[in-house]
Amino acid sequence: MTLEEEIKKRRTFGIVSHPDAGKTTLTEKLLLFGGAIQVAGAVKSNKIKKSATSDFMEIERQRGISVATSVMAFEYRDRKINILDTPGHKDFAEDTYRTLTAVDSVIVVIDVAKGVEEQTEKLVKVCKMRKTPIIVFINKLDREGKDGVDLLDEVEEKLGLNVVPMSWPIGMGQRFQGVYNMYEEKLVLFNSHGKQNEEDTITFSDLSNPELDEIVGERAAEELREEVTLINEVYPDFDRETYLSGDHSPVFFGSAINNFGVKELLDCFVEIAPTPLPRTTEERVVEPNEDEFSGFIFKIHANIDPKHRDRIAFLRVCSGVFERNTNYKHIRLDRKLKFSNPTSFMAARKEVVDEAFPGDIVGLYDSGNFKIGDSLTSGEVLHFQGIPSFSPEQFRYVNNANPLKTKQLNKGLLQLMDEGVAQLFTMELSQRKIIGTVGALQFDVIQYRLEHEYGASCTYDSINLNRACWVDSDDPQAMKEFVARRKKDIAKDKDGKLVYMAETAWGLKTVQENHPDIRFYFKSEF
Q: Helix/strand/coil (H, E, C) string of 261-326?
A: CHHHHHHHHHHHCCCCCCEEECCCEECCCCCCCEEEEEEEEECCCCCCCCEEEEEEEEECCEECCC
pLDDT recorded at residue 128: 87
Sign of CA dihedral 68, 71, 76, 79: positive
Q: Which domains does the chain have, with CATH numbers?
A: 9-69+93-272 (3.40.50.300), 279-377 (3.40.50.300), 394-521 (3.30.70.3280)
The residue length of the chain stands at: 526
Rg (CA), the chain: 25
pLDDT recorded at residue 252: 93
pLDDT recorded at residue 107: 93
Residue type, 238: F
CA torsion 427-430-432-437 (nearest 10°) is -30
pLDDT recorded at residue 35: 62
pLDDT recorded at residue 99: 78
- Count of CA atoms in the C-beta half-sphere (13 A) of 450: 29
CA distance 503 to 263: 53
Show Cβ contacts of residue 170 under 8 Å, excluding neighbours closer than 6 positions: 176, 177, 178, 179, 180, 187, 216, 220, 223, 224
| Neighbour order of strands in the sheet with 433-437 | 458-462, 394-400, 433-437, 423-427, 490-493, 498-502, 467-472, 519-521
Residue 304: how many CB atoms within 10 A of its CB? 22
Below-50 pLDDT ranges, the chain: 37-57, 59-68, 88-89, 91-92, 194, 198-199, 347-348
Q: Residue 159: which of 266, 249, 265 has the closest Cα?
A: 249
Alpha-carbon distances, residue 215 vs 199, 201, 221, 259, 338 (angstroms): 13, 12, 8, 21, 61
Taking CA 299 as the corner, what is the angle to CA 354 and CA 21, rounded to the nearest 5 degrees? 110
pLDDT recorded at residue 307: 58
pLDDT recorded at residue 346: 60
Q: What is the pTM of this model?
A: 0.77
Taking phi over 0 as left and psi of -120 to 50 as alpha, with beta for the rest, 171 belongs to left
Show Cβ contacts of residue 324 under 8 Å, excluding neighbours closer than 6 positions: 339, 340, 341, 342, 352, 353, 354, 355
CA distance 231 to 247: 18
